[in-house]
């Protein structure tokens, strides 16, 4: 899908940059243009999705399962948690995280001088200033990241330095290059390779430290006996990377000359961390609904989505006048079509990363060692044992989530 804005053709990812514009009119027009484009394909995608649900349900029945949800839990190798745990987790997110984000949204409206936040008011910086520039080019991103990792622990800096010396970074965006960003373990040498499309933004800095966390994981598991031991499920793999995003924050001063920019970057990062959780809950709960109600039609599905999305704050926006767009928001989530039930992993790992960061703030050396010990296990142990080795719990209870949410909120308040 692409759209035309000011006589230029943009992909939807490129067009979403206009949502950061300080002019509200520019944001509103861009948002509506993007959503209109999505609505053009709405019916086609609904028909396709109807077919997918029927076929997936049949696969589950053929394999002797009651529904596709139960089938997928087995297929994804989820031995450490159940559908009930997922529901408990959703509920805890609703109770503990949504209120914090509601408060942050009120604060955002106040800072922007708006009565209500519309869906196009969520991405613009409340500072009234242009986007942060943490580095000038790919080379500087690599060098500053080595410096940042070195400040956490010289062992970590050394790992990135080895990668640089061996040409194992391809970070700058250029014409014709495939999109995306990832860490790729090279099976023969055991070294990691980091690929990304940097455009010198804050997002690129977080991508680099995120992929850097995966790279550390690759180094630490390189000598495990079996290849399968080196390939962790996402709940573990993303724990490595998401924890590194947070632990590295204390040394982000290498990317920013001005204290106010550093504070702004940390605030944006922490809000992103919290915002991940309700959206994951929405998508996960929606999938549970879809596959435990396999005979639903497209209208039922839209209704179910709306109810679930509202429970988790509906993007903390006012949708009056945008009802058609609201119902259709789920279609933007590729996972629903392509990798069913793969989504709750992000919230599990995010929660674990917050817990590791909390330990790290209290006892940096001990927490870092536990983190490295957990990573070194690869996938030789069950998930909950890997989490325990990292010094954290594999727990979705409201009490635990409240403890972690309160911690993040206090850290956010310190940056106010």
Residues near Zn ion (CB under 5 A) are 241
Please report, for residues 94, 297, 303, the alpha-carbon distance to residue 289 in angstroms, rounded to integers and kept in the order given.
Answer: 17, 12, 11
Q: Which residue is nearest to Zn ion (CB)?
A: 241
Least Å distance, CB 87 to Zn ion, is 25
User: Can you tell me the distance from the alpha carbon of 238 to that of 243, in angstroms, rounded to the nearest whole number?
Assistant: 8
CA 26, 29, 33, 38 dihedral sign is: positive
Q: Using the minimum distance from each CB to Zn ion, give the nearer residue, 241 or 285.
A: 241
Least Å distance, CB 375 to Zn ion, is 13
Least Å distance, CB 73 to Zn ion, is 22
User: Can you tell me the distance from the alpha carbon of 225 to that of 72, in angstroms, rounded to the nearest whole number?
Assistant: 29
Q: How are strands ordered across the β-sheet holding 169-172?
A: 169-172, 192-198, 182-185
Question: For the stretch 358-377, what's the b/e string if a residue is b when 16 or more beta carbons lie within 10 angstroms of its beta carbon?
Answer: bbbeeeeeebbebbbebbbb
Please give the structure tokens belonging to residue 93: 């997110």
Q: Where are the beta strands (DSSP E) in 114-203?
A: 169-172, 182-185, 192-198
Question: Which of 78, 108, 83 is closest to 233 using CA atoms?
Answer: 78
> Could you tell me if 280 and 347 are in contact, meaning their C-beta atoms sit under 8 angstroms apart?
yes
Question: Which of 203, 201, 212, 205 is closest to 254 using CA atoms?
Answer: 205
Least Å distance, CB 206 to Zn ion, is 11
User: Can you tell me the distance from the alpha carbon of 288 to that of 87, in angstroms, rounded to the nearest whole number?
Assistant: 9
Chain-centre distance for alpha carbon 342 = 13
**DSSP state at residue 130:** P
Q: Using the minimum distance from each CB to Zn ion, give the nearer residue, 245 or 261.
A: 245
User: Which residue pairs from 23-30 have beta carbons closer than 8 angstroms and sit at least 24 positions apart in sequence?
Assistant: 24/120, 24/121, 27/120, 27/121, 27/123, 27/124, 28/118, 28/120, 29/5, 30/5, 30/120
Q: Using the minimum distance from each CB to Zn ion, give the nearer residue, 211 or 302.
A: 211
Q: Using the minimum distance from each CB to Zn ion, give the nearer residue, 122 or 197.
A: 197
Please give the structure tokens belonging to residue 194: 């980091």
Q: What are phi and psi of 169, to 5 degrees?
A: -125, 135
Least Å distance, CB 349 to Zn ion, is 8
User: Can you tell me the distance from the alpha carbon of 195 to that of 209, in angstroms, rounded to the nearest whole number?
Assistant: 12
Q: Using the minimum distance from each CB to Zn ion, give the nearer residue, 241 or 331.
A: 241
Least Å distance, CB 234 to Zn ion, is 8
Q: Using the minimum distance from each CB to Zn ion, give the nearer residue, 94 or 245.
A: 245
Least Å distance, CB 243 to Zn ion, is 11
Q: Using the minimum distance from each CB to Zn ion, give the nearer residue, 198 or 241.
A: 241
Q: Using the minimum distance from each CB to Zn ion, give the nearer residue, 241 or 248.
A: 241
Least Å distance, CB 142 to Zn ion, is 18
Q: What are phi and psi of 196, to 5 degrees?
A: -160, 175
Least Å distance, CB 128 to Zn ion, is 32
Q: Using the minimum distance from each CB to Zn ion, give the nearer residue, 79 or 182.
A: 182
Least Å distance, CB 180 to Zn ion, is 11
């Amino acid at each position: 899908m692409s759209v035309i804005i000011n006589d230029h053709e943009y992909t939807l990812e490129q067009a979403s940059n206009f949502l950061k514009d300080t002019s509200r009119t520019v944001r509103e027009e861009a948002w509506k243009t993007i959503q209109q484009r999505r609505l053009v394909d709405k019916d086609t995608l609904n028909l396709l999705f109807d077919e997918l649900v029927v076929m997936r349900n049949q696969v589950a029945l053929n394999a002797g399962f009651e529904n596709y949800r139960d089938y997928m839990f087995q297929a994804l190798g989820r031995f450490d948690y159940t559908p009930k745990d997922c529901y408990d987790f959703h509920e805890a997110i609703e109770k503990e995280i949504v209120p914090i984000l509601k408060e942050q949204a009120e604060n955002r409206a106040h800072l922007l001088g708006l009565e209500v936040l519309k869906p196009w008011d969520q991405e613009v910086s409340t500072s009234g200033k242009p986007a942060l520039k943490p580095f000038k080019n790919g080379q500087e991103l690599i060098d500053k990241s080595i410096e940042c990792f070195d400040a956490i622990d010289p062992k970590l800096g050394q790992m990135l330095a080895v990668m640089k010396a061996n040409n194992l970074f391809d970070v700058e965006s250029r014409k014709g290059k495939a999109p995306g960003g990832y860490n790729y373990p090279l099976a023969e040498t055991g070294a990691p390779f980091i690929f990304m499309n940097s455009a010198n933004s804050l997002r690129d800095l977080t991508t680099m430290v995120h992929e850097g966390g995966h790279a550390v994981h690759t180094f630490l598991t390189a000598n495990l006996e079996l290849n399968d031991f080196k390939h962790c499920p996402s709940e573990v793999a993303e724990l490595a990377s998401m924890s590194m995003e947070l632990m590295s924050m204390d040394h982000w001063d290498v990317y920013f000359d001005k204290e106010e920019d550093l504070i702004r970057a940390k605030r944006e990062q922490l809000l992103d961390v919290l915002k991940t959780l309700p959206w994951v809950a929405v998508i996960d709960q929606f999938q549970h609904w879809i596959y435990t109600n396999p005979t639903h039609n497209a209208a039922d599905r839209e209704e179910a989505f709306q109810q679930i999305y509202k429970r988790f704050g509906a993007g903390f926006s006012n949708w009056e006048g945008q009802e058609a767009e609201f119902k259709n928001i789920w279609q933007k989530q590729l996972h629903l079509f392509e990798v069913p039930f793969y989504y709750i992993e992000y919230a599990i790992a995010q929660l674990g990363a917050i817990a590791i960061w909390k330990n790290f703030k209290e006892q940096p050396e001990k927490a870092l060692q536990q983190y490295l010990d957990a990573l070194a296990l690869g996938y030789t142990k069950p998930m909950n044992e890997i989490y325990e080795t990292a010094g954290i719990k594999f727990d979705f209870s409201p009490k635990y989530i409240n403890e972690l949410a309160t911690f993040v909120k206090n850290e956010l308040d310190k940056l106010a």
